Structure 1
Amino acid sequence: MATDTAPDKLARRLRARDLVEDRRIVLMLALGFSSGLPLLLVLGTFTLRLAFSDIDVKAIGLFSYVALPYSLKFLWAPLIDRIDVPVLSARLGRRRAWMVTTQVAVAICLVLMAFADPKTSLALLGLGAFLVAFCAATQDVVVDGWRIDAAGTDFQGILAATSNLGYRLGLITAGAGALFLASDKGWTFAYLTMAALMLVGLVAALLAPAFDRGRPEVATVDAAATAATPKAAGTRLWSVRQAVLEPLVELRERMGPALWGVLVLVALYRMPDFVSGVMASPLYRTLGFDLKEIATVTKLYGIWVGIAGGFAGGWAMARFGMFPTLLAGAFLAAASHLSFAWLSTGGPEVWRLTVAISIENFCGSFAGIALIAYMSSLTTPGYAATQYALFSSLYALPGKLVAGTAGYIVAAFGYPTFFVMTSAVGIPVVLLCLAVGRTPSRRHAPVVLNSAATPAAAGDGNPPVSVPLPTGSPGVPLRTRA
């Protein structure tokens, strides 16, 4: 017994020491921060800036489209893994070169946003926001790739959790921090400060080990070998076709006609959140809340309520199972929008805003965990990356496309009716849950709730049997009302 216990104690001591001394932990925390920082600067904080500049509510709704690169990054992610940055890649390695390039680009675009006045240079401000979103989404792809390369199997969970913590610190900084700065020093100073804080990720990228160093040479040899004969090139093309088509064919064969219902369910499940979220900031401005009140309630308090809702969703998943949690999440997320309809009928009382944010963020995060688990359960081992990319892109993209029309609906019918309408979308979602929520999921492996799972992000491709628990996600953070 003594000989068995001593190695166990030694292993535990080594793991504890690694958490303190391994520089990958600190680097991942900083890189996660730089990934989370730009998100709200083109979403919640950005729409608040527009609202407090008295921009028309219809234009604010249309500006939600500038964040589309976050949902479309899977389209150019393969190129980032294959193309070198001139000069920098030879010195830093491919991943570090892309990290440095995208972080510098984000900082430059934030400076552009800082000096663009919404009242006189609205188009320039929108262009800056779109460029920030594009560069930041590309940065997310590179940081995720570095994290996977930097950690072995046993260390993936630790780095994923660390990245998520840094991501949330970035969200708080770009949310509450930027609003407090804007309230005291103005929007230009706030955005310049956020641009300067990108130095955190830049320093981490320069200090990070180049785990991918040497891969371009191997790739070049392989490419030359395969390109030597037309037959080999044709085989490579067919392999790519198989990699794309086979996962989709497997889904159709396994689910049959029910697949179409599943796809509609995934597309509609979070659509009310995306559509209503764009109009939250203009509502705060219309009701008369100031920036400090909004920052305190929505950006600080609201994030922690969202975390609590995520934990509740994870507990419900473990206690009651997939289908009841999915059904409850669909109902709660849609019904919670009625709290904003109620908020829009009163005055700028902080207690009313606190109640609405509490209901909205708790229920939305609960539903977010349920959807992540459901989408993960639909994949098959061996095809999980492509299949999950399909589902995770589908759940985000339709809502963001429709969100651009939110301002026109508010202008025509008012805020109370708008939020009641978004809540009503939950009726067909609940019916779809009853119809296809029990669709057989995996052919081989069951879903396992794992608090150390790699966070879900659109197009990132996650381990097929891991469902992230309520800590959130760098690629797709748990919904907190912006």
Structure 2
Amino acid sequence: MTADAAPVAPTAPATRLLLFALLGFSAGLPYYMFSTVLSARLTTHGVDLVIIGFFGWVQLLPTCKFAWAPLLDRFAVPGLGRFFGKRLGWIIVAQLGIFLSMVAMAFTSGDASLPITALFAVLLAFWTTTLEIAADAWRIELAPTPAEQGPLVAANLWGYRSAMVAAGSGALIVADHATWTWAYLAIAAAAFLPLPILTSMRREADGRGTRGGALSTGLGAAAAILGGSLVVVAVVGSVILGLANAAGVGAKTDATRGVLIVCLLPFVAMAAALPWIVRLPATAYARRSTVIGPYIDIFWRFGYRALPILGFVTFYRMGDVLTLALSKPLQIAAGYDLTTMGIADGAVALPASMTGVAIGAWLAVRLRLLWALAIGAVGSAFGNWIFVWLWYAPPAGHVIYIATALDQFAHGLEGAVFVVYLSMLVNPRYPAAQYAFLSGFAFLLPRLLAGAGGSIQKQIGWDGFFTLSGTLSLAAILFLPLIARASPRSDP
């Protein structure tokens, strides 16, 4: 086995399920901390809703994970790759990054400097996404068919969504009774817990050095990677903020029109490039390139049907993302306290979400995948529309609990079906890169719109916002006839 190989995978089905539940937990725990919980934190500190919407663009980082996913396919972390394998080596570095970023967010939780808040939120999003890239690639390598994917996807999403809602619930309750600093420190401690379990899955280092040498090299490499990511994010962030300030972007900025224009650009570019891509022979550099080859391969294999496929995946998770962006500001505006919101996100959301995931995975295996996708789209729409009722109903425990339960059940079901669908689109030769591209592109438009959510809400109100977001999710059904016969081609 080479240094670039993946760690020895568990062969027992139950062990694999536990592994991917743990990996889902590791990725899900920090997600709410740079999205939903952060929006609640900023709301309690009196930050304008438009600015809170801009913070939703932190979630664009997972959308751009195709930019560094090929590196995780090609390279192992020095030292850690020899001792743990390529996939697990990157997962361990990502876990360290998640823990340190969350601790930094804890000690800057007063939000006295919003650029500093944004810096550590972006770092947390980056390392969470890196963990997902490595875990998704490993899952696709182990399970090449829908029947094999279904159970692993369910286990992964059980871990992911249970950690996500538990973190959101726990953070809100701790913040209500203590401070936001303690809330983030508590979740940071929980995020560290999977690390010892994952590191116990070591394999023997190869014959090119001692075990101690591999580990010491790995720790040095991890420190360099973590430090380098901090510097890069700080520099790039300073440039972006400088450009935004020069352009006069602020709390009174209406970003909706600009966002919609940006969202159209990828589709225009892909449509223009497709006639050239579909004619490329197997020997063409663009198809063999390590950097762009995995992405060119998607469009070459599916041809012109790649456009409706990408249109479908763009709309499918729209409601989920937009709900995530503004559900907490809505609940605070409707008169709910953090503890009630935390109970809804924990005791109610967790069983509802896990039930939805289980049913979604079962539907993906038992039904024709297109029918399962249609059911998920309808459920997602109702999961958004229920917040219109919450807004108009007098504040009461049963109101927020019912709304949360339907929201989490619907989006859990939809998410499980969607992961199976995306996994089936991937060429097994490029699991990390292609899944990163497809899952990232799926959230590009939703997360761009989420960043403009504050501007949209101010124009159409809370009821209009959640009516619109549910309707956009339902619109994904219109693409199903166009993608029904989309099948990949292969070289002759």
TM-score with structure 2 setting the length: 0.69
Residues 1:273 and 2:273 aligned together: no
Distance in 2 between residues matched to 1:311 and 1:184, nearest whole Å: 34
For residue 420 of structure 1, give the secondary structure of its aligned residue in structure 2. helix
Q: Is residue 338–residue 423 contact of structure 1 (8 Å, CA) maintained in 2?
A: yes
Structure 2 residue aligned with 1:263: 310
Alignment partners' CA distance in 2, 1:388 and 1:92? 23
Q: Secondary structure at the match of 2:336?
A: coil
Query: Equivalents in 2 of 1:67, 1:362: separation in Å?
Result: 22
Aligned to 1:342: 389
Which residue type is aligned with residue 129 of structure 2? A
Structure number with greater Rg is 1
The residue aligned with 1:34 is 26
Instruction: Report the identity percentage.
Output: 30
Separation (CA, whole Å) in 2 of partners of 1:164 and 1:331 = 20
Unaligned runs of 5+ in 2: 1-10, 211-283
In structure 2, C-alpha distance between the alignment counterparts of 1:31 and 1:142, rounded to whole Å: 10
Paired residue secondary structure (2:128): helix
Shift of the 121–199 alpha-carbon distance from structure 1 to 2, 3 Å rule, reads: same
Displacement after TM superposition at 1:212 (Å): 7.0
Q: After superposition, give the CA deviation of every residue in 1:141-163 in whole Å (9 maximum; x if it has no partner).
A: 3455677899999x999987765
Paired residues for 1:388-399 under 5 Å:
388-399=435-446
Structure 2 equivalent of residue 288 of structure 1: 335
Unaligned 5+ segments in structure 1 are 1-16, 218-233, 445-482
Contact 1:335 1:423 in 2 (8 A): yes
Instruction: Name the residue aligned to 1:309.
Output: 356
Partner of 1:111: 103
Letter in 2 for 1:284: Q
> 2:484 maps to what in 1?
438
2:65 is aligned with 1:65: no
> Scaled by the length of structure 1, what TM-score is found?
0.70
Deviation at 1:169, TM superposition (A): 4.9
Give the conservation status (yes or no) of the 8 Å contact 1:309–1:361: yes
Kindly state the Cα deviation for residue 410 of structure 1 after the two structures are TM-superposed.
Answer: 1.2
- Shift of the alpha carbon at 1:312? 3.4
Instruction: State the match for 2:369 in structure 1.
Output: 322
Aligned residues of 2:62 and 2:440 also touching (Cα < 8 A)? no
Task: Specify the alignment match of 2:8 in structure 1.
Answer: none
Q: 2:208 & 2:70 partners in 1: Cα distance? A: 15
Contact kept? 2:295, 2:437, Cα under 8 Å: no
**Separation in 2, partners of 1:31, 1:39:** 13
Stretch moving more, 415-424 or 311-320: 311-320
Aligned to 1:179: 172
| Counterparts in 2 of 1:439 and 1:239: CA distance versus 1, 3 Å | same
Residues in 1 aligned to 2:90 and 2:427: alpha-carbon distance in whole angstroms: 32
Aligned pair count reads 405
CA distance in 1, matches of 2:75, 2:190: 27
CA distance in 1, matches of 2:449, 2:209: 41
Distance of 1:151 and 1:368 partners within structure 2: 18
The answer for the alignment partner of 1:249 in structure 2 is 300
1:335 and 1:426 in contact (8 A); partners too: no
Larger RCO (alpha carbons 8 Å, 6+ apart): 2
Q: Partners in 2 of 1:312 and 1:148 — Cα distance?
A: 21
| In structure 1, distance between residues paired with 2:344 and 2:88 | 37
- The structural deviation recorded for 1:251 is 0.7
- Taking the TM superposition and a 5 Å limit, the aligned residue runs for 1:106-185 are 106-142=98-134, 166-185=159-178
Q: Report the Cα offset of residue 124 of structure 1.
A: 1.1
> Would the aligned equivalents of 2:158 and 2:357 in 1 still touch at CA under 8 Å?
no
Deviation at 1:209, TM superposition (A): 0.7
SS at match of 1:347: coil
Give the direction of change, closer, same or farther, for the CA distance of 1:128–1:162 in structure 2 (3 Å limit).
same
